[in-house]
Amino acid sequence: MTSIHQRHRILESLDGMDEAQMESVLRYIKRVVGKPATRESYEDRQKREAMRQIREALNNKQERDF
């Protein structure tokens, strides 16, 4: 199923909801969107590891210079 069909089906299901159901869905969406990310992204892990390696290399260089 293409994303356009999925969007269309979602919109159709929203049209069939009463106000209480819509409020419930809205509260759920706000909770999900408002949650901080619990899983670190691959890019963030790579950046953190790269910075760690850079710090380590700089520290090693400073120790050798003394």
8 A C-beta contact, residue 26 and residue 18: no
Q: Write out the residue range of the structural domain in which residue 48 sits.
A: 38-66
* Torsion over CA: 30, 32, 33, 38 (sign): positive
Verify that 46 and 65 share a domain, yes or no: yes
d(CA 14, CA 29) in angstroms, rounded, equals 13
Which residue, chain included where needed, has tokens 């050798």?
64
Average pLDDT, stretch 39-46?
Answer: 83
Considering its fold, how many domains does the chain have in total? 2
| pLDDT tens-digit map of 1-38 | 677 888 888 888 888 888 888 888 888 888 878 777 66
User: Residue 53: pLDDT above 80?
Assistant: yes
Amino acid at 61: K
Verify that 1 and 21 share a domain, yes or no: yes
User: Residue 45: pLDDT above 80?
Assistant: yes
Q: Please indicate, yes or no, whether the overall pTM of this predicted structure exceeds 0.75.
A: no
Confidence of residue 51 (pLDDT cuts 50, 70, 90): very high
Structure tokens at 52: 């760690």
